[in-house]
Structure 1
Amino acid sequence: MSIREPAVAGSFYCDDPIDLADSVMQCIGEFVDAGVHAKALIVPHAGYIYSGPVAGAAYRLLANSCNDIDRVVILGPCHRIALQGLAVASYEAFSTPLGDISVDIPACQNLVDKGLVQYSNEAHQFEHSLEVQLPFLQGCLAKFTILPIVVGACSIDDVYTVINALNVEGTLFLISTDMSHFHTYQQANAIDNFNIVRMLNFDTDLTGEDACGSNVLNGFFKFCDHAKWKIRMVKYENSGDTAGDKEKVVGYASFIVY
């Protein structure tokens, strides 16, 4: 079996399985009935000491959705290479210290056959925006497959079309993005609060300055608006609130879409 081995275990999160499981559950805390069934989560992707509590606040809302989810489509920005379009990988599973997660290979191949995505193991090999979500999913869900998609330079419609093709019963969409980068604490709060309002309105003109996953968000929000989905913010903090100084911070926000 071809397996994508973890690239940021031991740096972004613990590489010891016992410590990692404990870290994930500390971030999630008590599971909460969200009052709705989640169709998607938007969560950050920094090291757990920085953004883990913000991500965990969204994951804990899967309590009344987890039994209905058998596949998670994860879309995140490409940080490591210059990627044109969207890319899946040919790996049969993605591994974390908590175990292996099977990839929905037929769905990947179907997207490639339709010309909606390309295969690129290079884009996935060291990409953290998808990987850091996997232990959280392993802490929340029992039996599921994943469909990881790295998103590079592309149009809104490129992302919209992929999401539309994958929107079937039992699928949870997981959108991985951080907010503003390297402003002062006060500046980051102002910028991020402004952009959170835009996100709550499903704006589709976000830029990389607003959120590193802007290409994913814009296409996703177009789909949400078309599908008449609803969104609710869960938690906002920045690295100045968690584990960093307040001179150059990164913003983190999480949302539930239902």
Structure 2
Amino acid sequence: MAGRFYPAKKDDLLANIRDCFNHPIGPGLPKRIGSDRMISAAIAPHAGYMASGMNAAHTYKRIAEDGLPDAYIVIGPDHVGVPFEAVMCDEDFMTPLGPCKIHEEIAAKLKRTIPCNCGAHRYEHSIEVQIPFLQFIDKDPKIVPIIMGDQSKSTAERLAHAIKEACKGRDVIVIASSDMSHYIPKEDAERLNTMVLRKIEEMDVDGMYSVIESKKISVCGFGPMATAIFESEPSRVEILKYSDSWDSLRYDVMSVVGYLSAVMCR
């Protein structure tokens, strides 16, 4: 996705990420690398950086200032039609900032229960766009990427259990990659997405599924978000930023995509 969702040259990409943090709707650059380690999971959007990068920056600033984990389990929804309920990859990701390595120990354990097919990840953007942000805040991030082809609650529960078992003894952050409603008027997007945000904040997975299904809200990563809640069992969810493509691009107020950044804390 380099050259499409984000710049293909290292210096341009670094400048773009800094601009996302410093954008008027961004959070500002991280002030420090913390050591509290209260964050166990997070939500970040996955559109092109010009549209959603300044929203995603809120999540990555909070992660940096809270403290860096051993590994990041990055879960994205399937946009290309993978033939798996869930599928991981055990090969390093390459971005203009260099290779982002797989956490080999966690990946080896996870492969016992989750299919591994790196070809299935080749054209999926929802995970890849998170990686440069991780590389920006963490000099040597280790990841395990997982695509959810089936976003049902039952798959989310099974995947959360598999991740929890594979990560025993390790300090990890689960990153759920998701955009909110797609291509509807801004006013409708704010109303519908607020319903979903409320359920996420309440850690009410059943309620989240119910409102998305009953209101036909086009959230694309509800499975990863449910998995993050199930796996991390947070004591609270902190909504950091809601915005949409009109806020960032000022293009077509009648057809916006919504974006959410949030963290889940122990």
Q: TM-score band (shorter)?
A: 0.7 to 0.9
Residues 48-197 of structure 1 aligned to structure 2 (within 5 Å):
48-66=49-67, 68-91=68-91, 93-113=92-112, 115=113, 117-153=114-150, 154=152, 155-165=155-165, 166=167, 168-197=169-198
User: Aligned partners of 1:61, 1:167: CA distance in 2, in Å?
Assistant: 24
C-alpha contact (below 8 Å) 2:42/2:263 kept by paired residues = yes
One-letter identity of the residue aligned with 1:56: A
1:195-237, Cα deviation, whole Å (9 max, x unpaired)? 110110112132473521111222322334xx34321000011
C-alpha contact (below 8 Å) 2:75/2:224 kept by paired residues = yes
C-alpha contact (below 8 Å) 1:85/1:152 kept by paired residues = yes
One-letter identity of the residue aligned with 1:87: V
C-alpha contact (below 8 Å) 1:76/1:150 kept by paired residues = yes
Q: Secondary structure at the match of 1:110?
A: helix
User: Aligned partners of 1:193, 1:32: CA distance in 2, in Å?
Assistant: 30
User: Aligned partners of 2:2, 2:48: CA distance in 1, in Å?
Assistant: 10
Distance change >3 Å, CA 103–CA 127, structure 1 → 2: same
Q: CA RMSD in A?
A: 2.0
Displacement after TM superposition at 1:181 (Å): 1.0
User: Aligned partners of 1:96, 1:82: CA distance in 2, in Å?
Assistant: 22
C-alpha contact (below 8 Å) 2:41/2:228 kept by paired residues = no
1:26-61, Cα deviation, whole Å (9 max, x unpaired)? 212321579873222210000001001100011111
Corresponding pairs, count: 245
User: Aligned partners of 1:255, 1:133: CA distance in 2, in Å?
Assistant: 14
User: Aligned partners of 1:163, 1:211: CA distance in 2, in Å?
Assistant: 23
Q: Secondary structure at the match of 2:205?
A: coil
Residue matched to 1:39? 40
One-letter identity of the residue aligned with 2:236: K
User: Aligned partners of 1:167, 1:182: CA distance in 2, in Å?
Assistant: 40
1:134-159, Cα deviation, whole Å (9 max, x unpaired)? 11001101222111111111523222
Displacement after TM superposition at 1:63 (Å): 3.2
User: Aligned partners of 1:112, 1:21: CA distance in 2, in Å?
Assistant: 33
C-alpha contact (below 8 Å) 2:110/2:163 kept by paired residues = no
C-alpha contact (below 8 Å) 1:73/1:146 kept by paired residues = yes
Q: Please state if 1:16 is matched with 2:13.
A: no
Q: Secondary structure at the match of 1:183?
A: coil
User: Aligned partners of 1:179, 1:103: CA distance in 2, in Å?
Assistant: 28
Residue matched to 2:24? none
1:45-86, Cα deviation, whole Å (9 max, x unpaired)? 0000100110001111123333x4221110110111243311
From 229, 235, 240, the counterpart of 1:229: 235
User: Aligned partners of 2:168, 2:242: CA distance in 1, in Å?
Assistant: 27
Residue matched to 2:259? 252
One-letter identity of the residue aligned with 1:159: L
C-alpha contact (below 8 Å) 1:204/1:219 kept by paired residues = no
Deviates more, 1:120-129 or 1:154-163: 154-163
Residues 200-215 of structure 1 aligned to structure 2 (within 5 Å):
200-205=201-206, 206=209, 207=212, 209-215=217-223
One-letter identity of the residue aligned with 2:224: V
One-letter identity of the residue aligned with 1:198: K
User: Aligned partners of 1:63, 1:107: CA distance in 2, in Å?
Assistant: 22
Point out where structure 1 has 5 or more consecutive residues left out of the alignment: 1-7
Displacement after TM superposition at 1:168 (Å): 4.2
Point out where structure 2 has 5 or more consecutive residues left out of the alignment: 22-27
C-alpha contact (below 8 Å) 2:6/2:49 kept by paired residues = yes
Distance change >3 Å, CA 43–CA 71, structure 1 → 2: same
One-letter identity of the residue aligned with 1:132: V
